[in-house]
Chains A and B, each alone.
Chain A
Amino acid sequence: MTDVITAALMIVGAFFMVMAGLGVLRMPDLFLRMSASSKASTLGSGALLLAVAVHFGSVGVTTRAVATIVFLLLTTPIAAHMLGRAGYFVGVKLVETTVIDELAGQYDLRSHRLRSKQPATAPPESDQPQV
């Protein structure tokens, strides 16, 4: 029984890991790549770590596996946020099909402060990239 669960978790994990890799390779811009990789990899590694917990079945291993998962859940999004922000500052281009970029021009490049902006009342009609 544990073997079956272990195997299933491993397969799920590996699947999402491959998706993460594929995503980061295939996606056309930085934000899309991060989008694809950050969650898929968290899910993938989470599944694999759970597989370890199930496989060994000891408290020590489980605790450590769960702690690692928690840590990853906590840090992966922050890393993505930091990188995305950095990407904005160095002027990484968004893919041409981007519908709207409401963040564009909101950063004060000198002070690195971010202004708030009230959302547009209507969704944009055009598909013009806004960057």
Chain B
Amino acid sequence: MDSLVLRTAIRYLLPLLLLFSVFALLRGHNEPGGGFVGGLVASSAFALYTLAFDVQRARQLLPVTPRRLIGLGLLVAVFSGLISVLAGDPFMTARWDNRPLPVVGKLGTPLLFDVGVYLTVVGVVLTIIFALAEEE
């Protein structure tokens, strides 16, 4: 559907949505948000892009395939849990860096885990949406 208005607006909306998605991800440990919601917002940005243009354009916009993103996300998530195993603690024992950062709070493996969630969710939603849109 070629709506001039939508296509124009999406140029501004896309960075805005992605910005908010990262914001939601990073802040999730302290305020409402987190990897899942962040991932959904990010993927809805790409979904909008898909609707405004088409799947090919949306795929080009994304540097990796959604499937890779899923794999990467899962690996990041499990890796965040394995760090503690290497140190002899049970799986998923949190490790923290105690210097606080603005917005994010402290850096730690749970945050890394949430990043994995974020990536997976983006990959999943985009896989589904792209496949469905290509059906049409």
Contacts and interface: CB of A to CB of B under 8 A. Distances in A.
A and B touch in the complex (CB under 8 A): yes
A82 interface: yes
- Count class of interface residues, chain A: 10 to 19
A78 B5 contact: yes
B12 A82 contact: no
A122 interface: no
A81 B2 CA distance: 12
Nearest to A89: B1
B6 interface: yes
B9 interface: yes
Interface residues of B, number: 10
A81 B5 contact: yes
Interface in B1-17: 1-3, 5-6, 9, 12-13, 16
B16 A71 contact: yes
Interface in A51-104: 67, 71, 74-75, 77-78, 81-82, 85
Contacts of A71: 13, 16
21 contacts: A67-B16, A67-B20, A71-B13, A71-B16, A74-B9, A74-B12, A74-B13, A75-B9, A75-B13, A77-B5, A78-B3, A78-B5, A78-B6, A78-B9, A81-B3, A81-B5, A82-B1, A82-B3, A82-B6, A112-B1, A112-B2
Interface of B: 1-3, 5-6, 9, 12-13, 16, 20
Interface of A: 67, 71, 74-75, 77-78, 81-82, 85, 112
